[in-house]
Structure 1
């Protein structure tokens, strides 16, 4: 019974994630793998790597992205 409930929860989570990604309108090909780090300064490259590692979640540190609308905030 536990396995059935676990599988059902995983499926629900997967469907929800897929639905939210579709609704977000974000391009599917925009990933960390396809991002051109060479265009960024070394400081920004380091900051992006810190964001990608998501250690701020474990340490409960807030992340704020600042910039003009439509310019992209890595």
Structure 2
């Protein structure tokens, strides 16, 4: 923030302000794009984790049923 935006009339140099705003807009757009990409990656990871968890639950239910069947045979 070392830029000085002073003029005698309004206190700001329009060209420097426009450049500053443009730089900040570009930085913001890059941040938004990066954030959207990270959100997509997080959603993909969450979907994979949920799928794996569902598979483990199904396998657990099968094992539990098999254990109950073995216990009732004794």
TM, length-normalised to structure 2: 0.34
In our comparison, the structure showing a higher alpha carbon Rg is 2
| Structure with a larger share of its residues in helix | 2
